[in-house]
Structure 1
Amino acid sequence: MASHKPTAVLIIHGGYFLPAAWDAFWDKLRQAGFIVKCPRLPSCGDKRPPTATMNDDIIAVREAVQELIDTNNSILVLAHSYGGMVASEAISPDLYANNGKGAVGLILLSAWLVQPGDTLTDVISKYGFQCKVDLSDNGDGTFFAKNAPESFYNDIESIEAKDLAAKNVTHNLFAGSGKISGAPWKDLPTTYIHCAQDMAIMLPLQQSMVQDAVNMGGKLITKTIDSGCHESAMNLERSMMVASNAE
């Protein structure tokens, strides 16, 4: 997948979640020999009323990438859901690999893939809101998923789903309302992994965004896993190991 095999994985989590949601997958990556970072995006679980914007999320990711660069790591960036938008803006050419240090590849896991010059609203206007998450406004600028067990955790047992849903956090939905300007998927080897059961960004929408990216010059390869939002990380393991070990 890249000219330099990655020594580190930088995870950019999605909205309504915190880094702890990736703990099990994080452990598997560490056992495989990777250094792992998953910075908390400030717009997730923000104070109420919220103050963090996507720019704050971008800063958090860039700081984490720079720390990995400073310790001589080549980095595979894994972005999920809202994290795809953050990745587009945060992973700019100054963070690409130089002498083996920096970003060498990108994995978009059922992630928002918004074209430069467009907003998330533009994508939704073009393809419709292909989402089964029942989002509700707290009235203070934060949003939460009313049906998290059924939408985020539709691929696991209902009791566990309810327990995990209780750990979801609010998200400042308007954090991602601005125009996207970056497109690291045009420059870096990129794999888009479709999650067939994802209810947050449904499969046809994932496919449409990828096709738009290809039409814009992106050389993405795709894989599909039979997974929803929660189990996507665990079902990703095999595909990610193949990608990260490729020359």
Structure 2
Amino acid sequence: MANHKPTAVLIIHGGYFLPAAWDAFGDQLRQAGFIVKCPRLPSCGDKRPPAATMNDDIIAVREAVQELIDTNNSILVLAHSYGGMVASEAISPNLYANNGKGAVGLILLSAWLVQPGDTLTDIIAKYGFQCKVDLSDNGDGTFFAKNAPESFYNDIESIKAKDLASKNVTHNLFAASGKISGAPWKDLPTTYIYCARDMAIMLPLQQSMVQDAVNMGGKLITKTIDSGHCPFLSQPEALLRIVEEAVTNLT
């Protein structure tokens, strides 16, 4: 598959977030010359009890990709946290670049990287729950992070971290329970960004998942940001540099 310089960045946000969390970074990407889309994942901030599953998230991402293809874009996919699981299923080979239109590369930002045939539960059983997020169940299938300032925003000044935490939403945690079947990181040039101070998906777990992917034939390169879980908020310049470097490597 010939590489093409991406003209668009498709952001797949994480499980307790909404697209608005990415607005500022999206603006930086636009200033750098990219078209940017960040579709809402229906399992995040869903009605209670939740109605949306990962399949609904997959459909939302595929629709966004198709819109970018229909407007003649080559696409760099940037997936964060739970968004990595959605990316694995949504970015199927029929969406890979053809005649310069479609997905040409993938960036996984401290993302869940689950092997085909496995589930998130399998990862946790293998490596332990290397996560400091204190999840609470509302009793109806929706979950929320009780300690978001400490677990998502530990590298951000406390007043701002509390403000950001107030914007976190519920997630249908069971949306993340299904078995993964796809592995676009085997086919597309992929960068995994380690977040060294991440409390939500801790560094040793990030590294273990990447090593498993390499063992499965993934040709991943890795970069590190000395940040918590959300460098798009705490260190956007560092993240932008890695995105731009990934673009350079695709051309």
Normalized against structure 2, the TM-score is what?
Answer: 0.90
Q: Distance in 1 between matches of 2:22 and 2:248?
A: 9
Rounded Cα–Cα distance in structure 1 between residues aligned with 2:59 and 2:79: 15
Contact 1:225 1:235 in 2 (8 A): no
Q: How far off its partner does 1:234 sit?
A: 19
CA distance in 2, matches of 1:180, 1:216: 14
Confirm or deny: 8 A CA contact 1:155 1:231 kept in the other structure: no
CA distance in 1, matches of 2:227, 2:249: 7
* 1:188 Cα offset (Å): 0.2
- Taking structure 1 as reference, are residues 18 and 232 closer, same or farther at Cα in structure 2, changes over 3 Å only? farther
**Cα distance, 1:3 vs structure 2:** 1.4
- For the 8 Å contact 2:191–2:246, the answer to whether it is kept is no
Question: Separation in 2 of the partners of 1:192 and 1:16?
Answer: 21
Cα offset for 1:235?
19
Verify the 8 A CA contact 1:2 1:189 in the aligned structure 2.
no
Unaligned segments of structure 2, at least 5 residues = 229-243
C-alpha deviations, 1:47-95, integer Å up to 9, x for none? Answer: 0000100000000000000000000000000000000000000000000
Residues 195, 225 of structure 1: 8 Å contact kept: yes
Q: Which residue of 1 aligns with 2:234?
A: none
Provide the C-alpha distance between the structure 2 equivalents of 1:32 and 1:103, rounded to a whole number of angstroms.
19
Task: Give the corresponding residue for 1:29.
Answer: 29
In structure 2, do the counterparts of structure 1 residues 151 and 170 end up closer, same or farther at CA, with 3 Å as the change threshold? same
Q: Report whether the alignment pairs 1:93 with 2:107.
A: no
**Distance (whole Å) between structure 2 residues aligned to residue 150 and residue 223 of structure 1:** 23
CA distance in structure 2 between the partners assigned to 1:210 and 1:22 by the alignment: 24
Give the 3-state SS of the residue equivalent to 1:231 in structure 2. Answer: helix
Q: Residues 235 and 121 from structure 1, CA distance in 2 versus in 1: closer, same or farther, beyond 3 angstroms? A: farther
Query: Structure 2 CA distance, aligned partners of 1:2 and 1:8?
Result: 17
Q: Secondary structure at the match of 1:206?
A: helix
Give the direction of change, closer, same or farther, for the CA distance of 1:57–1:100 in structure 2 (3 Å limit): same
Q: Is the 8 A contact 1:25 1:234 kept in 2?
A: no
The question of whether the paired residues in 1 share the 8 Å contact of 2:115 and 2:180 is answered with yes
8 Å contact from structure 2 (residues 134, 146) kept in 1: yes
Distance apart, 1:106 and its partner CA: 0.2
TM-fit CA distance, 1:134? 0.2
Closer, same or farther: CA 148–233 of 1 in aligned 2, 3 Å: farther
Give, in angstroms, the shift of residue 231 of structure 1.
Answer: 18
1:231/1:170 Cα in 2 relative to 1: closer, same or farther (>3 Å)?
farther
Tell me if structure 2 keeps the 8 A contact 1:13–1:38: yes
**Are 1:192 and 1:222, in contact at CA under 8 Å, matched by a contact in 2?**
yes
Counterpart of 1:149?
149
1:235 match: 249
CA-CA distance at 1:176 after TM superposition:
1.1
RMSD: 3.1
Q: 1:233–1:129: structure 2 CA closer, same or farther, 3 Å change rule? A: farther
How far does residue 233 in structure 1 lie from its aligned partner after superposition?
Answer: 16
Indicate how the Cα distance of structure 1 residues 35 and 195 shifts in structure 2: closer, same or farther if over 3 A, else same: same
Distance in structure 2 (CA, Å) of the matches to 1:81 and 1:13: 7
The alpha-carbon deviation at position 10 of structure 1 amounts to: 0.1
Query: Structure 1 segments of 4 or more deviating over 3 A?
Result: 230-236
Shift of 1:232: 16
Q: Distance in 2 between matches of 1:209 and 1:33?
A: 32
Deviations 1:167-215 (A, max 9, x none): 1000000001010000000000000000001111000000000000000
Cα 1:86–1:154 change in 2 (3 A) is same
Q: TM-score, normalised by structure 1?
A: 0.92
Q: 1:2 to 1:145 in 2, by over 3 A?
A: farther
Unaligned runs of 5+ in 1: 237-247
> Aligned-pair distance for 1:155?
0.5
Residue 194 of structure 1 contacts residue 224 of structure 1 at CA under 8 Å; is this kept in 2? yes
Secondary structure, in 3 states, of the residue corresponding to 1:105?
strand
